[in-house]
Amino acid sequence: MEIIDSHLHIGNISDTGIVTANEVRSHLTAMGVANGLVMPIAMRGGNDDWETHKALYKEALALDFDVALYVNTNMLESSKDLSHYLTFPFKALKTHPDAVDFSDEQIERVCSVAETNGLPLMIHTGADDCCHCERFRPFIKNHPYLVFVLCHARPSNEAFPMMREFHNIWIDTAFLPFRELAANISEDIENRILFGTDFPANRWFPHLGKENEWYQRQIDGIQDKFPEKTAEKILSRNFKKLYKTTAI
Ligand SMILES: [Zn+2]
């Protein structure tokens, strides 16, 4: 099976410098992962540098990665339909409302741009008011033909009931505890779950231990604990279905 990681980062992970697409590719190769979707890591408060991002996207595409356009509010101010930035063959848009404050109007605009361009919209979700899954209910309801990928599925007691209610919701498994996934998975939603790790964001959390061992646990948690058919969907098939990737 070709394992595909739907949630990977490039860029400024720390003060120590930039994680390049080349480094991410080497990591995946070492882990036996066929491919992935990469995006720049969100900077707290914004001020991401588009020139840096452009160089990262170019390198990632040259290495056959799929790429998502990381959208912050500055970009929406300078190019309302994001046409200035939609210059690469992006597979999705990504926003991080916990790193940058998004008004409802700005989220609505990102939804419209994603829908107009036929791209799924990845949203970071978390426990806070700015980014818990239910915050996005009105947008999900108003855009039934737009795919929302609720990254991390947080909190899971909102994410899973919403997935059953709205068929345009997908989730990824990045930092989603396996016991929560196992407790909530069912046939009606297993076609909309993507394997994702958030690598190399694990470097922010030293308690996760050695990088390769942590990463392997993310694969094993799905491969060993779910029926083969389900594991294959999450680790590979669902990604191909959603992004119709040509990279593999
Ligand atoms: Zn992430």
Ligand 1 centroid distance, CA of 180 (Å): 19
Quick: pLDDT tens for 191-245: 999 999 999 999 989 999 999 999 999 999 999 989 999 999 999 999 999 997 6
Domain that holds residue 229: 4-102+171-243
Name which of 175, 183, 173, 95 is nearest 135 in CA terms: 95
Ligand 1 centroid distance, CA of 145 (Å): 24
Six token digits for residue 79: 């190019």
More confident residue, 176 or 247: 176
- Residue 114 pLDDT exceeds 80: yes
In this prediction, residues 30-41 reach a mean pLDDT of 96
- Tell whether 110 is covered by a domain: no
Q: What pLDDT is attached to residue 42? A: 85
Q: Classify residue 235 by its DSSP letter.
A: I
Q: What pLDDT is attached to residue 16? A: 64
- Tell whether 134 is covered by a domain: no
- Tell whether 202 is covered by a domain: yes
Ligand 1 centroid distance, CA of 201 (Å): 7
- Tell whether 153 is covered by a domain: no
For 183-190, the CB contacts below 8 A with 24+ separation are 184/156, 184/160, 185/226, 185/230, 188/164, 189/160, 189/163, 189/164, 190/230, 190/233, 190/234
Run of H or E residues at 36: strand 35-40
Q: What pLDDT is attached to residue 81? A: 97
Q: What pLDDT is attached to residue 53? A: 93
What's the chain's length in residues? 248
Q: Are 139 and 147 in contact, with CB atoms under 8 Å apart?
A: no
Ligand 1 centroid distance, CA of 167 (Å): 23
Q: Computed from CA positions of residues 73, 90, 43, 148, in that sequence, does the dihedral angle turn out positive or negative?
A: positive
- Tell whether 44 is covered by a domain: yes
Ligand 1 centroid distance, CA of 198 (Å): 5
Ligand 1 centroid distance, CA of 79 (Å): 24
Q: Classify residue 120 by its DSSP letter.
A: -
At 248, is the pLDDT very low, low, confident or very high (cuts 50, 70, 90)? very low
Ligand 1 centroid distance, CA of 124 (Å): 7
- Tell whether 57 is covered by a domain: yes
Q: Name the region of 30 (left: φ>0; alpha: ψ -120 to 50; beta: rest).
A: alpha
- Tell whether 156 is covered by a domain: no
Q: Residues lining ligand 1 (ion), CB within 5 A?
A: 198
- Residue 52 pLDDT exceeds 70: yes
% pLDDT > 90, the chain: 90
List, in sequence order, every beta strand (DSSP E) within 81-206: 92-95, 121-124, 148-151, 169-172, 193-194
Q: What pLDDT is attached to residue 47? A: 74
In this prediction, residues 176-185 reach a mean pLDDT of 96
- Report the chain's terminal Cα–Cα distance, integer Å: 12
Q: How many domains does the chain have?
A: 1
Ligand 1 centroid distance, CA of 43 (Å): 11
At 246, is the pLDDT very low, low, confident or very high (cuts 50, 70, 90)? low
- Tell whether 56 is covered by a domain: yes
pTM of the predicted protein model:
0.96
Chain mean pLDDT for the chain: 94
